[in-house]
Structure 1
Amino acid sequence: MSTQIPLECLEQIFKHLLNYRSTLFNCLLVNRSWCRQVVPLLWSRPFSRLQWKSSLRLIQTYISCMTKDQKSFFTDLDIFIPESSSPLFSYAKYLRKFNYNELSSCVNIWYCDYYQHGDGNIKSDEYIKINLITKELGKFIISHSNLIHELYISKTFGFSQIMDITSFPGAKSSLSHLRKIRITGARYMETKDINDFSNILIGLSQICTQVRDIEIYKFHETSSRIIEGLITLIKSQQNLSKFTVSYWNLNLEPLIFALETQMGLSLHQCDGLDSKIFQTIINSPVGLKKLYLTDNDMSTGTLITLLRNTSGTLNQLTLDERVTISSTSIFETIATHCSSLSHLDIKVLNPNILNLFRPLRQTQLKHLVLNNVSSKGLYDDEVFPEIGKFLPKTLQNLGLIYWDFTLQSLQSFLRNCDCPIKKIFLYKDSGLNDDHLNIITQYARDKGILKSLKFLIRSCGKISIPSQEAIKRAQEVIPLVQGNNRFN
């Protein structure tokens, strides 16, 4: 008697395979039922990580879905599209993540293949054709997609044009469900690009009001007119929970003033971050929930003021190494004022490491990531085990990145940990060997709490370090043991 897996269960299984496209594609071939489940997932993010041949097939498939009248556009450009059978599915309607720049790149590859161009042999006037084809395919996709969740607009290539996709037919329907928007500019943009970006932002503010995540990258002095569009977009959102700004040289104050709800704020390589910028957040009755600060020019004093005044709501904090070089005041402020903080991710560069970590013992942290960006000679076997004594008693998830330790120091470190750690993530330059893994396995057996272990795995031919035998022994004690051959 055969047992059939319910479709609802299959759907959840397939969703977990989104990042494993080859595996998902194999599932496509099992039977019709699986095929109907898998096709929408495969075509929800079709532009991600495509190679040359895959880009060709993608564009060819989209063209095959077009009607005869729509294909006549190519004839006008002296491009002959051969007759083909009708596709089994209307693939465009499954799109959930739309990246206009990736579409342009795929069209560029398809165009080069059609005319048998080698790399770099495209004439400047041919880019006009590529932009026209991209725009036409963009219109086709937008008009057939009814549930796009993520939108990426960028000025990455000099030849690419910024298209106001909010004016495309069907945009009001397809973009009304957006949850994430990422806009990427460039250091040098023409006036037309700036106007187009601004028009897109204004158009989006009129179409979608439920965006949760907005990311803005690489806008500089020449792009100041875009601020008005950003403010309009931000203010039109009802559930914005995350706002990310990177590589920004403009005045941030108007954007900060536009933020009115409890949310996460990420700032990376932004200039002019003084206390005035954060005054609106500090005075907000709702407050800041998540704060991510890296490679900015914010002073330690400004950061301390911000932490003190947002301590009632701040739940997650990510900081780079520059705020930990000069003093332990940041950690003392966290321990004293940030009682709601449960997640801390910080890069460490401080010779006086033990004094730096001492205040952590007083916190209520549940998730801690310590990223060692110092020189390898800074930490020795006597110092590393002592860090275990300062971990909060509430800690459940621990990440240690770029830390070097011997077998003895790892064993002593774990012995000093008296917190209920359920998840451990270790990234060691040289990786873990069998002895390291055996020590962690014994720790898990003694404590009976550890549920997850992730680490770097190295391959030497057909041999892995740690060995598959050591991994299997760990899996007998720890429910989830995962070794990756790269660091994410």
Structure 2
Amino acid sequence: MHCELLPDCLNNIFEFLEDDKGTLYSCLLVNRLWCKFSVRILWRKNIWDLRYNYTKSSKVLGTLISCLPNESRDLLYKNKIFIPTPTTKTPLFDYVSFCKFISIDEINIMIENYQEISDDGDDDNDNDYDNDDDSDSDNDCNDSNDSSNSSNNNNNNNNNNYDNINNDDKKDLILIAQEIIKMFMKKIPSLKKLNYYLNPNEINYEILFIEFPGAKNCLMNLSELNCNSDIQSEFFYQMSKFCHNIQSLTIKFGEKVSNGLNDLIISQKNLKNVSLKQSHHDWTDIIPSLIKHSNTITKLLLKGKNDHKPLTFITNFINLKELIITFDYLNATLKDFKDELRYFHFQKLQKLKFSFGCPRSDILIDFIKINGKNLNYLYINRYDNLLNISISKLCPNLKFLYTIFIDKKSLIDILNGCQLLECIQVMCGRLHIKEKDMLEAIVKYSPKCFHELRLYNYAKSNILSKDLDSFFINWSNRIPQKSITFICLNVFDDLEKRNMKIIEKYRKLGVIKNAKTYL
């Protein structure tokens, strides 16, 4: 007896597959209902990331052009702008209405990619738009392999010389962007995420789309905004009047801070996650506005080129759960940590990460004496034996850890002291712990809940096949049995073929749950 899943049940299954693009692509041609569910989820957030993928960007642009209202297409036609579309028929779905995420910079990149192809006289891409009349998917999303094929061929094509584009062509590109964004504003009932980054070295796409029809309704319930600090003030001013539900805000600081940015920050009702990324200007100008949200901000990321940026304002965020500090060089000392931050108690802090530069070890030890008990995630790019001993004694609830080891003993101390540890990232090679010693310690002393090992080789891997084989044999004999995720990142070379065969062998046996290697 033939049985079909109810639409609601089927919808829940597809929602579960939201991040599994490969499976979603495979569902496009099953039938019209499956196609609709797949397309809706794919267009929700997965149409972007187009910088190095000319084939995908051409397809997405063609589909967007086919969705434009007649007045917009007529306007492009009058300006002698002709962009191929996947089909001459009306699109099967209202693709644009499915979007919950818009990336202004990716729209610009998509259009510039098309302009480059047109200038090069590359007519081969026309074949990408051919469509079988019987296909339900319009060929719009059937590009699951495009990313891997195109990125390898086009990595060098992003070095555009925008000064060589004449003014008429620039006007055409801006007009295309304007009409596409206007369509987004009108057709998307409630946008959730907006990326609004502009590169000062590229074409000026500062389109005041906030004034387009439907923009207010589209942007009113925005929950995530990622933008430059120096985009036009009017955008921030207008947004501050009706957009009050932003929970996640990322700001890249350019040469200035636009006047309206503070107004937008102050107007928010429940700001939780803040990321400040310094390039030229720093974040000093907006600190008073952020402090207005000191009770609601729970995640703070600070990224800069040097460590001479103010940090003491962090103590205002008394409910902070995640603190991530990244400076672009290893010798950053984070001087602001030595005084007020050193002894400050963040009662709810669970995640602490220093990607590159770190405070001195004695300062870190004082900090984790006060805050270590609640931490479940700790990432510190610094070696100090006393620091590792302190972590083993003061951070009993860690689930993830990255710190530097040079010997087996300090790693064993960590594994014995942190009995809730589920994942550890270890750097091996040169002056760091030997791979054999690391594997022996992990298999013998890691807690029962441990299930993921991330191995980072800073030099050529010296791991022997017999040692790797022994590790997996011993792991399979642990009680209770738990399969392991094994991730290996090699800076200089890949693992030897023999080692790859061993990894594949134990993956098939179920000892390894997931295995990944990166160069």
**What's 1:292 paired with?**
324
**What's 1:244 paired with?**
275
**What's 1:179 paired with?**
223
Contact persistence 2:334–2:357 (CA under 8 A) = no
**What's 1:42 paired with?**
42
In the TM superposition, residue 9 of structure 1 has moved relative to its aligned partner by 5.3
Change in 2 beyond 3 A, CA 1:335/1:451? farther
Please give the per-residue CA displacement for 1:76-105, whole angstroms capped at 9, x wherever unaligned.
212346892111011110111101111111
Of 240-249 and 114-123, more deviation after overlay is shown by: 114-123
The match for 1:85 among 86, 89, 97 is 89
**What's 1:306 paired with?**
341
Q: Distance in 1 between matches of 2:488 and 2:23?
A: 23
Matched residue SS, 1:243: strand
The match for 1:110 among 107, 114, 124 is 114
Q: Distance in 2 between matches of 1:422 and 1:4?
A: 41
Contact persistence 2:421–2:447 (CA under 8 A) = yes
Q: Distance in 2 between matches of 1:23 and 1:8?
A: 19
Letter in 2 for 1:397: E
Q: Distance in 1 between matches of 2:238 and 2:501?
A: 53
Contact persistence 2:192–2:224 (CA under 8 A) = yes
Q: Distance in 2 between matches of 1:437 and 1:176?
A: 57
Of 117-126 and 286-295, more deviation after overlay is shown by: 117-126
Q: Distance in 1 between matches of 2:10 and 2:263?
A: 41
In the TM superposition, residue 126 of structure 1 has moved relative to its aligned partner by 1.1
Q: Distance in 1 between matches of 2:343 and 2:265?
A: 26
**What's 2:388 paired with?**
357
Q: Distance in 1 between matches of 2:399 and 2:71?
A: 57
Does structure 1 residue 330 correspond to structure 2 residue 330?
A: no
Change in 2 beyond 3 A, CA 1:313/1:434? same
The unaligned stretches of length 5 or more in structure 2 are 123-159
Identity %, equivalent residues: 19
The match for 1:426 among 409, 429, 454 is 454
Letter in 2 for 1:370: Y
Q: Distance in 1 between matches of 2:438 and 2:91?
A: 58
Change in 2 beyond 3 A, CA 1:8/1:336? same
Q: For 1:77-476, list aligned pairs within 5 A.
A: 77-80=79-82, 84-114=88-118, 122-156=165-199, 157-184=201-228, 194=230, 196-220=231-255, 223-224=256-257, 226=258, 228-248=259-279, 249-252=281-284, 253-260=287-294, 261-269=296-304, 272-274=308-310, 276-278=312-314, 280-281=316-317, 286-295=318-327, 299-300=334-335, 302=337, 305-306=340-341, 308-323=343-358, 326-348=360-382, 350=383, 353-362=384-393, 363-372=395-404, 379=406, 383-391=407-415, 392-404=417-429, 406=434, 408-414=436-442, 417=445, 419-429=447-457, 430=461, 435-436=467-468, 438-440=470-472, 442-443=474-475, 445-448=477-480, 450=482, 452-456=484-488, 464-473=500-509, 475=510
Please give the per-residue CA displacement for 1:269-307, whole angstroms capped at 9, x wherever unaligned.
1654446534533xxxx4322111121866456256325
TM-score by length of 1: 0.82
Change in 2 beyond 3 A, CA 1:438/1:23? farther
Contact persistence 2:50–2:110 (CA under 8 A) = no
Matched residue SS, 1:288: coil
Please give the per-residue CA displacement for 1:404-440, whole angstroms capped at 9, x wherever unaligned.
4556413541266363433323123239757426514
Change in 2 beyond 3 A, CA 1:8/1:420? farther
TM-score by length of 2: 0.77
Q: Distance in 2 between matches of 1:239 and 1:444?
A: 47
Does structure 1 residue 75 correspond to structure 2 residue 103?
A: no
In the TM superposition, residue 449 of structure 1 has moved relative to its aligned partner by 6.1
**What's 2:31 paired with?**
31
Please give the per-residue CA displacement for 1:301-329, whole angstroms capped at 9, x wherever unaligned.
625632532331222111245325x4334
Of 16-25 and 69-78, more deviation after overlay is shown by: 16-25
Contact persistence 2:50–2:106 (CA under 8 A) = no
Q: Distance in 1 between matches of 2:273 and 2:392?
A: 29
Q: Distance in 2 between matches of 1:444 and 1:160?
A: 58
**What's 1:188 paired with?**
none
Q: Distance in 2 between matches of 1:303 and 1:8?
A: 56
Change in 2 beyond 3 A, CA 1:434/1:233? farther
Please give the per-residue CA displacement for 1:362-417, whole angstroms capped at 9, x wherever unaligned.
22333232154xxxxx83xxx13432223433423222143345564135412663
Change in 2 beyond 3 A, CA 1:251/1:86? closer
Contact persistence 2:345–2:370 (CA under 8 A) = no
Q: Distance in 2 between matches of 1:92 and 1:70?
A: 15
Please give the per-residue CA displacement for 1:10-41, whole angstroms capped at 9, x wherever unaligned.
44554455555454222111112211110111
In the TM superposition, residue 147 of structure 1 has moved relative to its aligned partner by 2.7
Change in 2 beyond 3 A, CA 1:333/1:469? same
Of 298-307 and 173-182, more deviation after overlay is shown by: 298-307
Q: Distance in 1 between matches of 2:334 and 2:66?
A: 57
